[in-house]
Amino acid sequence: MSPPPRVSFRLYLITDRRAVRSGDLISACEAALTVAQAVAPPGTVALQLREKDLSARALYELALRLRAVCSRAGAPLIVNDRVDVAIAADADGVHLPADSIGVSMARKLLGPNRLIGVSTHSPPDVAGAAREGADFAVFGPVFDPVSKPAAGSAWGASGLRAACGAGAIPVFALGGITPDRTRELLASPYSAARPAGVASIGAIFGADSPALATAAMLSALDPSWTRRQ
């Protein structure tokens, strides 16, 4: 493995193969990452493989295919929950749901060079993830999700600001994220209250064109990127 990676990505794509309108998750990921590679700096987009209903073998085989896609695009590949699959597929890290193993145990298994992200649902969760040594946190729902019914009350922009200030790790906003809402969330005059970026499931993988949806989200994160096309 390379030296310890920094969390340099701004857009965190989370897969949902059932949301992809074409039914082809690999092609949807390739389309999204190809656009990102064309308009944004290397490593701006990371991909989380989150297909919780797959068997270990099927998940591993999918991870291998996405490992190749991400390597070509210069995008980090993160595997949800399954540390064993992340290691076997040479992924760049793992994402731990709230009910997964702790950060310290994951670090023992992964070593120092892979990323560990954590799902958080309150500002104290973010503080706890930072104390435990997570590299980044995904916080939500900020708004009602695009891809599925809300599991709890949405926190809104004020809740996100509190989460961003709760711990010294990058925080990514999840839940109902659109380009317009991304611009709104990044408009805070206080840098400590702004998220490091946004996470998306349905807004990208449920779109008619994942490529165009990715371009729109990247433009919201930094308008100069889209002008490179």
pLDDT digits (tens, 9 = 90+) for 186-229: 986 656 678 999 999 999 999 999 999 999 999 999 988 765 55
Mean pLDDT across 138-156: 81
> What mean pLDDT, rounded, does the chain reach?
92
What is the C-alpha to C-alpha distance for residues 198 and 177, in angstroms, rounded to an integer? Answer: 7
pLDDT band at residue 2 under the 50/70/90 scheme: very low
> What pLDDT, on a 0 to 100 scale, did the predictor assign at position 145?
78
Domain residue extents for the chain: 11-226
> What pLDDT, on a 0 to 100 scale, did the predictor assign at position 34?
96
Token representation of residue 18: 């059932």
> What pLDDT, on a 0 to 100 scale, did the predictor assign at position 1?
42
Q: Is the pLDDT of residue 169 over 60?
A: yes
> What pLDDT, on a 0 to 100 scale, did the predictor assign at position 150?
57
Other CB atoms within a 10 A radius of the CB of residue 5 amount to 17
Distances (CA, A) of 184 to 33, 115, 195: 24, 28, 11
Higher pLDDT, 152 or 120: 120
Mean pLDDT across 93-120: 95
What is the C-alpha to C-alpha distance for residues 53 and 20, in angstroms, rounded to an integer? Answer: 16
> What pLDDT, on a 0 to 100 scale, did the predictor assign at position 190?
58
Higher pLDDT, 187 or 64: 64
Return the CATH fold of 11-226.
Answer: TIM Barrel (3.20.20)
H or E segment and range at residue 132: helix 123-132
Place of tokens 């929950």: 81
Q: What is the pTM of this model?
A: 0.93
pLDDT band at residue 83 under the 50/70/90 scheme: very high
Numbers of helices and strands, H then E, in the chain: 10, 8
Higher pLDDT, 153 or 55: 55
